Structure 1
Amino acid sequence: MPTRRVHHLAAATAAATTALTTVLTAVGAAPARAAGDLHLVRPGESIQQAVDAALPGDTVQLLPGEYRGSVRITTPGLTLRGAGRDSVLLPADATADATAGTSTGTPAAADNAALCATAGHGLCVAGTDDRPLAGVTVEALAVTGFRKNGISASGTTGLTVRATFVHDNGQQGISQEKSTRGVITANESTRNGQSGVFLANSVDSEGGALSADGTLVSANLLTDNRVGVTVRRLRDLSVERNRIHGNCGGVFVVGDEGVPRAGALTVTRNQVVANNRYCPPNPRLDHIQGAGIVLTGAEETSVTENEVRDNVGASPFSGGIVLVHSVVGVANARNTVADNLVLGNGPADLADRDTGTDNSFARNQCAVSEPAGRC
């Protein structure tokens, strides 16, 4: 039986627990305590079968090793915990037996995992608009090599994603849509095809911005993605204390003509340095290179106390902190850019390339602005 209920960790799990403690201590987070039963999964056993057998408040603990196949979580209050980077979720091996050597296990579990795998994602946390999935925690594991998103959440509330290593996935590293009160902290998300962290009202439809109800993106390391953090059509959240470098763009806050508008959020105390990769244009956007923090079609957003250095390029988005109208021509409105250190960016440290007239720039340390006089 690939899932086991364990009330006291045996010697076999001591190394995993020690590794987890080391990982979480390194990122400044305390290891979570399992509130219910523990389901221990070894390499070659089924993560999905353990997840399906778990009850609210239980923990599914992965020992170090590789685990093949997608996983879908639909149980509230569940914790999925690895032993740090040594617990690795990878796409299924097409030549492997579906019930042995992959993460699917029983036919029922395979059907559940297939919903996530068919979408192209690695780990799915799935609620609904009417019944948001509450209180799931994903921590201390690696997710890599999936066609679309590494970790993909929709219809959740109070989701925590902590101390994960999400890398080399085709689209988003960590994605959350139609969700509230999320905490995405102390992760490393790198070399993903789109954003390291992507937050949106809905990926597949237009519409006004939704409230994220205090979602927090903090203390993450985001490198070598198209964009470090993208916030699209959301309100009421904070992006703070992240290290964002080596992407094509650092932080994008994206709105459009939908009502309510995107904004009423905070971007603060981030280190946004040398995001100078070149990413080619797509049907909606010009190419991206050298973009630090970009507001496009946003309102009432506070950009404060960030260090934004050495972001240089020749894109419409290039520069340190940049305001530019949205893809449908909507201007930024009533945003505040204050108390930032913005130096060495090009063509300007502060660039207001928009038609909005009610955005505020104050007490920023910078050398070059568009138009002149903003430093």
Structure 2
Amino acid sequence: MAARRFRQLVATAVGVAAAGLAAAPPAQAGSVLLVGEGQSIQAAVDRAEAGDTVLVLPGTYRESVRLTVSGVTLRGSGERTVLTPAAVPAGSACAEAGHGICVTGTADRAVADVTVESLALSGFPKDAVAATGTDRLSVRFVLGRESGRYGISVEKSTRTRLSGNRLRDNAQAGAFLANRTDAEGGALDTGGAMISGNDLSGNRIGFVARRVRDLTVENNTMTGNCAGVFVVGDEGTPRAGALRIRLNKVVANNRFCPANSRLPFIQGSGIVLTGVEDTTVELNTITDNAGTSPMSGGVVLFPSFAGGPNSGNTVRDNTVVRNGPADLADRDTAGRGNAFDGNRCLLSAPAGRC
């Protein structure tokens, strides 16, 4: 059912977009650069200017693609447009880094208003889609699977939109949003990033927000991961937080993932807050997440490994049942001002949270 719905959404999006292109006056429309199987997507992207669309026909394309020009749309033909790694990933910074599609800006010049949509990426050593230094990036209706790290990774970026994607069986997170992974520092204000309508399954963690502020995570489905959602902060300032996590289905994330250099083993975690502030978790359905990890449970407040407590967070009006060892678990003894209200649940630790 999920695959059929994804294909229907893609077909609708492509058809509406095509109709819009056909109806627009020529003076207002950008160019459409058509790419067929056997041709180079990168060559078309290199010719594209702001307002142009690179339209990739069905087929398998063994290459990586790097976008650095604002206002460009890279559009496939749904899951029939597949990018896989080149046999010899040389000559491209994106390919050599192990990514499928890179959207790359700089600290001085963000790449703005880029759209990547309606295609599939499979088997890249690092990330299916990797973005850094972007503003108003939109990634939608993308299938990203079996990557060595993330399905979609976005760093040092503002006003991101990730919607309608299927991110499956990636070694780390299905989707990852962060200030940056290669240095410490305070949380980045994302300017209202939106993570909505995505299907995140079979990954280590469905969605990770790391040292960021001001974003919404809603109407996503996380199932079959080791953990559904991780919101990660530390002692840095500005502190991570001010998130809205709402209307998601977080069900049976019970895979076992062994410990790594940053975390103990993970299993059976629904939504985990660690070292964050002023975050609201509301109106979610969080069921059947169970395990024996220190972070197992339905909604878990866990002390940050860097020493930052959870503070001022609100967990309210969720359905949280059949999670183990507890539906609501407040394990952050240093946390202050965290509230639990109106949740439908059976067991909390400590008692009294349900």
State the partner residue of 1:106.
Answer: none
Task: Select the residue among 345, 349, 352 that pairs with 1:370.
Answer: 349
Give yes or no for the alignment of 1:359 onto 2:338: yes
Which of 151-160 and 31-40 deviates more?
31-40
State the partner residue of 1:107.
Answer: none
State the partner residue of 1:87.
Answer: 81
For the 8 Å contact 2:258–2:264, the answer to whether it is kept is: yes
Give yes or no for the alignment of 1:167 onto 2:145: yes
For 1:117, give the aligned amino acid.
Answer: A
Q: Aligned partners of 2:127, 2:294: CA distance in 1, in Å?
A: 27
State the partner residue of 2:25.
Answer: none
Shift of residue 329 of structure 1?
Answer: 2.4
Question: How many pairs align?
Answer: 340
For the 8 Å contact 2:61–2:83, the answer to whether it is kept is: yes
For 1:362, give the aligned amino acid.
Answer: D
Shift of residue 283 of structure 1?
Answer: 1.3
For the 8 Å contact 1:23–1:84, the answer to whether it is kept is: no
Q: Aligned partners of 1:140, 1:277: CA distance in 2, in Å?
A: 29
**3-state SS of 1:88 partner:** strand
For the 8 Å contact 2:14–2:77, the answer to whether it is kept is: no
Q: How does 1:241-260 map to 2 (within 5 A)?
A: 241-260=219-238
Shift of residue 23 of structure 1?
Answer: 3.7
Structure 2 CA distance for partners of 1:30 and 1:180, relative to 1, 3 Å? farther
For the 8 Å contact 1:24–1:30, the answer to whether it is kept is: no
State the partner residue of 1:39.
Answer: 33
Q: How does 1:88-237 map to 2 (within 5 A)?
A: 88-94=82-88, 111=91, 114-237=92-215
Q: How does 1:46-85 map to 2 (within 5 A)?
A: 46-85=40-79
For the 8 Å contact 1:24–1:31, the answer to whether it is kept is: no
TM, length-normalised to structure 1: 0.88
Query: Deviation above 6 Å: which 4+ runs of structure 1?
Result: 26-29
Which of 61-70 and 32-41 deviates more?
32-41
RMSD in angstroms over aligned alpha carbons?
A: 1.7
For 2:180, give the aligned amino acid.
Answer: S
Percent identity (aligned): 55
Shift of residue 93 of structure 1?
Answer: 2.0
Deviations 1:70-126 (A, max 9, x none): 1100111100000000100010023xxx9xxxxxxxxxxx74xx1101111110000
State the partner residue of 1:24.
Answer: 10
Q: Aligned partners of 1:367, 1:116: CA distance in 2, in Å?
A: 48
Q: Aligned partners of 2:269, 2:317: CA distance in 1, in Å?
A: 19
Structure 2 CA distance for partners of 1:22 and 1:146, relative to 1, 3 Å? same
Q: Aligned partners of 1:25, 1:295: CA distance in 2, in Å?
A: 37
State the partner residue of 1:240.
Answer: 218
For 1:24, give the aligned amino acid.
Answer: V
Q: Where do 5+ consecutive residues of structure 1 fail to align?
A: 1-19, 99-109
Task: Select the residue among 296, 321, 324 that pairs with 1:318.
Answer: 296
Q: Aligned partners of 1:146, 1:66: CA distance in 2, in Å?
A: 14
Shift of residue 149 of structure 1?
Answer: 0.4
**3-state SS of 1:189 partner:** strand
State the partner residue of 2:24.
Answer: none
Task: Select the residue among 249, 254, 264 that pairs with 1:276.
Answer: 254
Shift of residue 265 of structure 1?
Answer: 1.1
Shift of residue 21 of structure 1?
Answer: 8.7
For the 8 Å contact 2:11–2:78, the answer to whether it is kept is: no
Q: Aligned partners of 2:216, 2:11: CA distance in 1, in Å?
A: 23
Q: Aligned partners of 1:28, 1:281: CA distance in 2, in Å?
A: 42
For 2:344, give the aligned amino acid.
Answer: Q
**3-state SS of 2:337 partner:** coil
Shift of residue 215 of structure 1?
Answer: 0.5
Q: Aligned partners of 1:318, 1:205: CA distance in 2, in Å?
A: 28
Give yes or no for the alignment of 1:345 onto 2:323: yes
**3-state SS of 2:74 partner:** strand
Q: Aligned partners of 1:21, 1:363: CA distance in 2, in Å?
A: 37
Deviations 1:242-264 (A, max 9, x none): 01100000000000011011001
Q: Where do 5+ consecutive residues of structure 2 fail to align?
A: 1-5, 22-28
Deviations 1:264-323 (A, max 9, x none): 111000000000000000111100000000000000000000000000000011000000
**3-state SS of 1:140 partner:** strand
